[in-house]
């Protein structure tokens, strides 16, 4: 079994990483053309957009020790955000971190405030509609394959990374389609609050015609309504018609 050893400049610990488990029912395989020898260890705050996160390490014990990597079952490409800038819709994990920070701010114990403060966490990939964000302590060591390594794979254009996003299940809407639907609902609700009966006028029309109606009778200034309508049509032209 290959066991690679790493150190970090600011840590007394030794980090070891072994072969990736080969059970395809439990573990995603590495992309073709890369191996565990391409994995490096960095702190969570050093992870860059497009890096492939493959492993994590047990928490620090408080004294120098050997920390052996745990391979993630599901690989993911990083899209780092601070919790304050996370684009998720308040997933449970982000809510928990924020609650810890709020509770700690009420404590007089300075150590508690520092330990629980949400700024000590970083989101490495925002959640989808069904899950939670992947968050880590900013200093947590992680095993990654750098985006530059993936981009240099044979046959991969320099600016293109392998797409590891799962294909939508049959009948499942894509993220752009979901976003367009949410923007459409927002526009209808705002219009109905501004002028009662607008929702009724919208719902008996086809969706492209409904957008045209909202454009003429929208609750916002014309250029604001136009911007939202254009975004909806760019996100889901099959349902709402092409952008003008």
Per-residue pLDDT reduced to its tens digit, 90-141: 788 877 776 765 555 455 454 444 444 446 788 898 887 667 888 888 889 9
Pair (38, 143) in one structural domain: yes
Pair (130, 197) in one structural domain: no
Are 55 and 72 spatial neighbours (Cβ–Cβ below 8 Å)?
yes
Pair (41, 108) in one structural domain: yes
Pair (61, 135) in one structural domain: yes
| Residue 188 exposure: Cα atoms within 13 Å on the Cβ side | 19
Residue 170 lies in a domain: no
12-40 residue pLDDT tens? 899 999 999 989 889 999 988 899 999 99
The pLDDT score that the predictor gives to residue 113 is 47
Query: Who wins on pLDDT, 68 or 159?
Result: 68
Locate tokens 């819709």: which residue?
89
Give the predicted TM-score (pTM) of the model.
0.57
The pLDDT score that the predictor gives to residue 93 is 81
170-223 residue pLDDT tens? 666 787 888 888 888 877 777 766 665 566 777 778 888 888 888 887 667 778
pLDDT band with cut points at 50, 70 and 90 for residue 160:
very low
Q: What is the dihedral of CA 38, 42, 48, 54, to 10 degrees?
A: 50
DSSP category for residue 37: G
Pair (196, 104) in one structural domain: no
- CA dist 138 and 43 (Å) reads 7
Produce one character per residue of 64-90: b if its CB has 16 or more CB atoms within 10 Å, e if not.
eeebebebbeebbbbbbbebeebebee
**Domain of residue 81, residue span:** 3-151
């Amino acid at each position: 079994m290959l066991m690679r050893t790493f150190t970090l400049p600011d840590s007394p610990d030794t980090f070891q990483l072994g072969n990736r488990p080969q059970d395809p029912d439990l573990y995603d395989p590495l992309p073709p053309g890369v191996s565990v020898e391409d994995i490096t260890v960095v702190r969570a705050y050093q992870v860059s957009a497009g890096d492939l996160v493959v492993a994590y390490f047990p928490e620090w014990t408080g004294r120098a020790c050997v920390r052996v990597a745990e391979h993630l079952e599901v690989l993911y490409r990083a899209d780092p955000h601070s919790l304050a800038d996370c684009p998720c819709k308040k997933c449970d994990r982000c809510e928990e971190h924020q609650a810890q920070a709020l509770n700690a701010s009420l404590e007089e114990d300075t150590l508690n405030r520092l330990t629980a403060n949400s700024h000590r966490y970083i989101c490495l990939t925002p959640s989808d509609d069904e899950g939670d964000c992947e968050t880590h302590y900013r200093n947590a060591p992680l095993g990654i394959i750098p985006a530059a390594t993936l981009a240099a794979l044979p046959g991969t254009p320099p600016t293109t990374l392998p797409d590891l996003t799962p294909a939508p299940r049959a009948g499942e809407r894509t993220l752009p389609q979901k976003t367009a639907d949410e923007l459409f609902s927002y526009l209808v609700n705002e219009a109905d609050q501004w002028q009662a009966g607008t929702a009724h006028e919208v719902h008996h029309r086809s969706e492209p015609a409904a957008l045209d109606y909202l454009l003429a009778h929208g609750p916002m200034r014309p250029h604001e309504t136009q911007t939202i309508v254009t975004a909806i049509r760019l996100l889901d032209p099959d349902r709402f018609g092409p952008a003008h």
